[in-house]
């Protein structure tokens, strides 16, 4: 039986203080999007503030344990176990703070009318521990695996370039940064200010902002 418990999933701490518990990635689910989120402490972020404007996902957040204070489109709602918020409008800003230290929120999401596509951010999140420990080869490998499925994804290319620049693979970093900028020119503006590219910013061919 392919079974686990939410508390046994990887716990990847993100910069905003929430903890990503990768369910979809754990089971390699391909038919839909599903993850869980926990927090470091009561009062900490459990769902990062964001919109789904880019992916156009409908999302359901179910509180499985503890309590969470959701803010959706500026409205606040305190939810306990077995309560959910369904956000149909991808443009609505949403986020949640855990009111209990052991709060768990299940998140389900996808785009209506389209086959599910694995979100590129999952690889970026999954690479965070490796990047934090400066295991650049591992961080690069995670991005390369994701790019095999989505070869021209600009954010993945950009992040890969970041990891390569930090890992000393300067030519690869330049190549992938230029590919990202070719797909979405605005990445050049990010690159101009991004400390990850400090080692290659003066190299010939570095994209101009």
The residues binding another protein (CB under 8 A) are 1-7, 9, 23, 26-27, 29-34, 57-58, 60, 62, 64-65, 72-73, 75, 77, 79, 81-89, 91-92, 94, 104, 106, 108-116
What is the number of other CB atoms lying within 10 angstroms of the CB of residue 145? 12
| C-alpha–C-alpha distance, residues 63 and 85, integer Å | 9
The pair of three-digit structure tokens given for residue 183, joined into one six-digit string: 């797909």
- What distance in Å separates the CA atoms of residue 148 and residue 179, rounded to the nearest whole number? 15
Residue with tokens 């957040």: 61
Tokens, residue 55? 């992916």
**Nearer to another protein by C-beta: 88 or 193?**
88
Between 122 and 172, whose beta carbon lies closer to another protein? Answer: 122
Q: Is 46 helix (H, G, I), strand (E, B) or coil?
A: strand
CB contact at 8 A, 48 and 14: yes
CB nearer to another protein: pick between 110 and 154: 110
Residue 172 C-beta: closest distance to another protein, Å = 31
* Closer residue to another protein (CB): 82 or 204: 82
Q: Do 194 and 207 meet the contact criterion of CB atoms below 8 Å apart?
A: no
Q: Which is nearer to another protein, 28 or 41 (CB)?
A: 28
Token pair of 50, please?
């964001």
Closest contact distance (angstroms) between CB of 153 and another protein is 18
Answer for the pair 143, 127: CB distance below 8 angstroms, yes or no. yes
Q: Residue 99 Cβ, how far from another protein at the closest point, in Å?
A: 16
Smallest gap, in angstroms, from Cβ of residue 141 to another protein?
Answer: 23
Nearer to another protein, 79 or 161 (CB): 79
Whole-number minimum distance, CB 163 to another protein, in Å? 28
Q: How far is the CB of 75 from another protein (least distance, A)?
A: 7
In the sheet that holds 18-21, the strands lie side by side as 12-13, 18-21, 33-39, 104-110, 58-65
Q: Residue 100 carries which DSSP code?
A: S
């Amino acid at each position: 039986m392919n079974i686990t418990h939410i508390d046994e999933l990887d716990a990847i701490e993100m910069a905003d203080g929430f903890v990503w518990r990768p369910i979809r990635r754990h089971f390699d689910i391909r038919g839909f999007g599903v993850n869980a989120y926990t927090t470091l402490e009561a009062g900490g972020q459990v769902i990062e503030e964001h919109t789904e404007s880019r992916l156009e996902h409908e999302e359901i957040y179910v509180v499985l344990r503890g309590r969470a204070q959701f803010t959706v489109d500026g409205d606040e709602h305190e939810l306990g176990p077995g309560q959910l918020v369904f956000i149909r409008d991808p443009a609505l800003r949403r986020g949640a703070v855990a009111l209990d230290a052991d709060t768990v929120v299940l998140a389900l999401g996808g785009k209506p009318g389209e086959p599910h596509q694995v979100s590129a951010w999952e690889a970026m999140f999954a690479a965070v521990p490796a990047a934090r420990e400066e295991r650049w080869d591992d961080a690069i490998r995670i991005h390369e695996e994701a790019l095999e499925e989505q070869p021209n994804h600009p954010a993945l290319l950009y992040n890969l370039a970041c990891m390569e620049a930090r890992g000393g693979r300067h030519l690869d970093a330049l190549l992938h940064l230029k590919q990202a900028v070719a797909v979405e020119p605005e990445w050049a503006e990010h690159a101009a200010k991004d400390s990850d590219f400090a080692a290659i910013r003066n190299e010939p061919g570095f994209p101009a902002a």
